[in-house]
Amino acid sequence: MSSAIPPFPPIEDLTAETAAEELAWLAAEMARHDALYNEATPEISDADYDALRARNLAVEAAFPDLVRPDSPSHKVGAAVSSQFAEVRHGVPMLSLDNAFDEGEVRDFVARIARFLKLPSDEPIAFVAEPKIDGLSANLLYVDGRLTLGATRGDGRTGEDVTANLNTIADVKQTLAGDDWPDRIEIRGEVYAPNAAFAAFNAAAEAEGRRTYANPRNFAAGSLRQKDARITAKRPLNFFAYAWGEHSRDFAETQWEALQKLKAWGFPVNARSRRVEGAEGLIAVYRELERDRATLGYDIDGVVYKVDRLDWQRRLGFVARSPRWAIAHKFPAQQATTVLEGIDIQVGRTGSLTPVARLHPVTVGGVVVRNATLHNEDEIERLDVRIGDTVRLQRAGDVIPQILGVVPDLRPADA
């Protein structure tokens, strides 16, 4: 899901004319997102949807005469969160800080040693786990039975998708073994394997049905179906890697906890490793980066977690991320393709943006057909012409970027 909410001008800068334009745009845009949401193919996160709603209210408050008959503010219980019941997680589901290079990984390890006041030669053990590119789910087990399954939502409150999660074979209805806490939230990632995703899209395309941009959108759309019978037909899997609320402690290390999750019946990623120090982490990262394309499912980095749970507790959290874990992200994926044309997109405020129309190319598992060229200066800077072969990159959800031209491949008539 993208977080592509345009930067809005300050309310004080709006005139009646630009405010009216913006309200028209917001009404159309939110209606579009409502429709996408109701088809379980949302393009934006709930938080971004809420940002649009808040902006609409703020503009209307400043220009009450301009409130439109089709204003999203007239719609009670907007599309997001109306479909599934809201559930509060027993313990919030946090996010992770990112590291983008090896220096940041070494800083992370050094920070931990400093915080724990460890002597410089004391080895710190970590678990390095593939960062699965799906969506996280929270599974509450009471007396070993799955009683509630929820999406992450905003981290505190998610959506009750128990019926849908129940259709995933990897999500156990009852825990195996008998050494589980009476009450435990088990957390992990719902994802779609690449081959199954490609097969679904191929069949959907052949039958003229909707296709999905990537396995993650597909997994998210599939998990948020109103009718769980549709979810049941979708190829979804689950990896367990964390836990929330628990009525008693059940492990002393992250590694031991993963073995417990496995013993209770969950798939646990076989590529996770217990290693020491920054060099150990970086070695796992390089291996996973090398093998990434052959895993059969998308990963977007490696998550490093301090192994000892007593150290995790001492390290605690800063804002919404644990001090004891970090996500080491893979660099943006690159590809080359041919620039077939340049369209001019007219923005909400009348601004003009050139958009590159590209020969479709797969970059990091996503088919890219367009990329922003930002403005005329950027076209000049890149010296990009129609017919050129261009290098482009895509990082996560970010709009694909054109990095430059391959000069040797420029046709004479470009």
d(CA 406, CA 384): 9
CA-based R_g, the chain, Å: 24
d(CA 55, CA 48): 10
Binding mask 143-182 for ligand IVH (x = CB under 6 A): ---------x------------------------------
6 CB-near residues (< 8 Å, 6+ apart): 347, 348
Give how far the C-alpha of residue 31 lies from the chain's centroid of Cα atoms, to the nearest Å.
23
d(CA 214, CA 203): 15
Are the CB atoms for 142 and 66 separated by under 8 Å? no
Q: How far is the CB of 247 from ligand IVH (least distance, A)?
A: 20
Maximum separation of any 2 CA atoms in the chain, in Å: 73
- Binding ligand IVH (rule: CB under 6 A), the pick from 30, 96, 219, 281 is 96
Q: How far is the CB of 214 from ligand IVH (least distance, A)?
A: 15
- Strand 98-99 vs strand 325-329: parallel, antiparallel, or unpaired? parallel
- Binding ligand IVH (rule: CB under 6 A), the pick from 136, 222, 333, 337 is 136
Q: Is 262 a catalytic residue?
A: no
Q: How far is the CB of 97 from ligand IVH (least distance, A)?
A: 8
CA-wise closest residue to 349 among 3, 1, 13 = 13
Identity of the residue, 124 or 220, whose beta carbon is nearer to ligand IVH in the bound complex: 220
Binding mask 230-259 for ligand IVH (x = CB under 6 A): -----------xx-----------------
Binding mask 306-335 for ligand IVH (x = CB under 6 A): ----------------x--x-x--------
CA-wise closest residue to 154 among 96, 97, 94, 85 = 94
DSSP 348: T
Binding mask 104-133 for ligand IVH (x = CB under 6 A): -------------------------x-xx-
Q: How far is the CB of 326 from ligand IVH (least distance, A)?
A: 10
- 95 near ligand IVH, judged by CB under 6 A: yes
Binding mask 52-91 for ligand IVH (x = CB under 6 A): ----------------------------------------
Give how far the C-alpha of residue 333 lies from the chain's centroid of Cα atoms, to the nearest Å.
16
Residue of 75, 117, 131, 233 with catalytic role: 131
d(CA 405, CA 173): 54
Identity of the residue, 131 or 234, whose beta carbon is nearer to ligand IVH in the bound complex: 131
Identity of the residue, 14 or 326, whose beta carbon is nearer to ligand IVH in the bound complex: 326
Q: How far is the CB of 152 from ligand IVH (least distance, A)?
A: 6
The C-alpha angle 174, 175, 177, rounded to 5 degrees, equals: 135
- 94 near ligand IVH, judged by CB under 6 A: yes
b/e map 149-188, b = 16+ CB within 10 Å: bbbbbeeebbbebbbbbebbebbbeebeeeebbebbbbbb
Count the residues of the shown chain that bind ligand IVH, applying the rule CB under 6 A: 15
Contact residues for ligand IVH, defined by CB under 6 A = 94-96, 129, 131-132, 136, 152, 189, 241-242, 303, 322, 325, 327
Residues that are catalytic:
131
